[in-house]
Structure 1
Amino acid sequence: MLSSVTCPLERQIPSLRIAIQEGLSNEENVCLRLEELEVLDEKRLEAQQRLECYQACISRTFNKKVRPRSFQVEDLVLVVRRPIIVTHCTKNKFVSKWDGPYVVQDDYTNGAYKLVAKDGLRIGPVNGKFLKLHHA
């Protein structure tokens, strides 16, 4: 009983069993299979293009909220205290989350900065996302 029932997928892409049932020759079946493979390649390319468009759209949406931060040499900056520990105690409520000010000594190409404290202590490299300008 199961052998007489065929899946819809087998009707769309004829398998050897369907080809035998419909009386197709091997050459005709091979031609049909090659045509289906070519169509599949086209569908894969279309899917890849849609995926790339979708990823570009998501990237644009995400990058709208990103604020680029760049600092020049000799800028005064503050550095986030790490590790940032979130506590629910009231005694640490007014403690600053930032250390500094520090002077930017060197700017690396990947967004990192070497910092120097007023006493000459060198700090770094520090990622730019952990810095903000100090307005004196």
Structure 2
Amino acid sequence: MDWSEAAEQRLNGLNELDEFLLKAYEISALYKEKMKKYHDNKIEKWEFMVGDLVLLFNSRLRLFPGKLKSKWNGPYLVTQLFPQGAVELETKEGMRFKVNGQRIKIYFRHAESANEVIEVYHLDEV
């Protein structure tokens, strides 16, 4: 076996390995870019205004959570908007705190349902 030929084969193998790793890195970077673009398109952008009523997502870990218990607390009043999506909320008692804007959603209250009259019919009377 010729030593120069063996050394050349070894260098060619190392070069092929480097090319393979570089191509894998490029493919991985393209995949990550595509997935980020897809994810960013799926995120809903909420536009909040000062004075809006919002609900706050309760992400606290609970040992025995209720299945039917709502994970949204509130409503809270939006008092101030900060750059980068932070929002200052105010409770009914007047306490203020800041939260990430992705943890809140608009609260739609039904004014008609509060004044709605419910009629009851007993089956014995019909």
**TM range, normalised to the smaller chain?**
0.5 to 0.7
1:100 counterpart residue number: 75
CA contact (8 A) 1:77 1:131 kept: no
What is the CA-CA distance between 1:70 and the residue it aligns to? 4.2
Aligned-residue identity in percent:
23
Distance in 1 (CA, whole Å) between partners of 2:71 and 2:41 is 29
For structure 1, which runs of at least 5 residues remain unmatched after alignment? 1-22
1:132 counterpart residue number: 105
Which residue of 9, 17, 31 corresponds with 1:40? 17
Distance in 2 (CA, whole Å) between partners of 1:86 and 1:63 is 32
CA contact (8 A) 1:105 1:116 kept: no
Q: How many residues align?
A: 105
CA contact (8 A) 2:51 2:79 kept: yes
Q: One-letter code of the match for 1:120?
A: G
**Higher-Rg member (1/2):** 1
CA contact (8 A) 1:106 1:115 kept: no
1:117 counterpart residue number: 91
What is the CA-CA distance between 1:117 and the residue it aligns to? 3.2
Q: One-letter code of the match for 1:39?
A: E
After the TM superposition, which residues 18-33 of structure 1 pair with which residues of structure 2 at under 5 Å, given as runs?
Answer: 23=1, 25-33=2-10
1:13 counterpart residue number: none
1:61 counterpart residue number: 38
For the aligned residues, what is the CA RMSD? 2.8
Q: One-letter code of the match for 1:30?
A: A
Q: What is the TM-score with the length of structure 2 in the denominator?
A: 0.63
Distance 1:65 1:86, change over 3 A: farther
Distance 1:81 1:68, change over 3 A: closer
1:86 counterpart residue number: 66
SS state at 2:24 partner: helix
Distance 1:81 1:52, change over 3 A: closer
